Amino acid sequence: MVEKMVTVAHNRFFLPHPVIVWMLDDKDLKFLQIRWGEKILLLGGSSKDSSDELMVRYIDIETCQVGVIKTSGSVPVARTGQSATLVGSRVILFGGEDMSRKLLNDVHALDLESMTWDLIETTQTPPTPRYDHAAAIQGERYLLIFGGCSHSIFFNDLHLLDLQTMEWSQPQIQGDLVSPRAGHAGINVDGSWFIVGGGDNKSGCPETLVWNMSKLVWSVLTVVKQKDPLSSEGLSVCSALIGGENHLLAFGGYNGRYSNEVCDVTFIYKFSIVFGRYAFLIYFCQLKVFKLSSYFN
């Protein structure tokens, strides 16, 4: 196993933990990352040297080294564009596209204690095979899948997998109409699932969306211009509490050009409005765009 050194960069302005900056070979594309203990796990991705099975690499935060973790069980086929969601001590893997470009909608679980894979048998109607979708966990029980694409269709549907019964369903949703997208990023903050960016290969999606998990309502948080970095495909997003205020920080992506900018969406405040039996969370926010160099010394 070949190990590589990575760099740990501290951000004294925003994040309470170090920011991990690493360089893998440029042939390693579209992997997903999960933090587990003092390691960052990198799942999947395409590589000329890939095996037929999905690889799990790691970055050790303490030693700043990269390696490969041996897994066993029903190991999924190698793929890109899948989702990987941490639930307790398991990672739930859904969908993606294999190395022959076959679209997938299978579900696998990786036990992080034993590093053993299981193929999950589900019932009811699963999502259409897809890749570059977003996934989240609601209440440690439901896996949410939103959007993504096939080779010709972009989706704006929402699916739920009950992790106790392993049944798929589609909720009756309310609120704003959301545009189809793939390559978006999502993050769950206190029961609100924020969806940032994405696109349809023609243009980026300018709306940052919020899915209220308890009310089953979509709403639009903010709208930017089509070429704004926040409407990029392939960007990443995280949340941070900075000076007592909640922030969404989005980085990178592609929207006609590759971006190295950080977008900061600050939630000024939020309140709820009740109309009859419907309740809505209203967010007020402001958007700032920073060059990455302005964050680091």
What are the tens digits of pLDDT across the range 55-89?
Answer: 999 999 899 898 999 999 999 999 999 999 999 99
Determine the Cα–Cα distance for residues 144 and 133; give it in Å rounded to an integer. 10
Tell me whether residue 159 is exposed, middle or buried, using C-beta atoms within 10 angstroms of its C-beta: 0 to 12, 13 to 18, 19 or more: buried
User: Span 15-32, mean pLDDT?
Assistant: 42
Looking at residue 8, its pLDDT comes to: 33
Residue 285, pLDDT > 70, answer no
251 membership: H or E segment, kind and range: strand 245-251
pLDDT band at 28 (very low <50, low <70, confident <90, very high): very low
Q: Which 8-state DSSP code applies to residue 13?
A: S
- Residue 213, SS3 per DSSP: coil
User: Span 166-179, mean pLDDT?
Assistant: 95
Cα–Cα distances (Å) from 5 to 43, 47, 254, in that order, read: 19, 19, 27
Looking at residue 278, its pLDDT comes to: 42
Q: With 0.75 as the threshold, say if the pTM is over it.
A: yes
Contacts of residue 242, defined as CB under 8 A and 6 or more positions apart, other chains included, come to: 13, 14
Which one is predicted more confidently, 288 or 12? 288
Looking at residue 178, its pLDDT comes to: 95
Contacts of residue 76, defined as CB under 8 A and 6 or more positions apart, other chains included, come to: 53, 54, 93, 106, 108, 117, 119
pLDDT band at 277 (very low <50, low <70, confident <90, very high): very low
Determine the Cα–Cα distance for residues 247 and 78; give it in Å rounded to an integer. 35
Looking at residue 24, its pLDDT comes to: 42
Indicate the domain borders of the chain. 191-297
pLDDT band at 229 (very low <50, low <70, confident <90, very high): confident
pLDDT band at 260 (very low <50, low <70, confident <90, very high): confident
Determine the Cα–Cα distance for residues 258 and 289; give it in Å rounded to an integer. 15
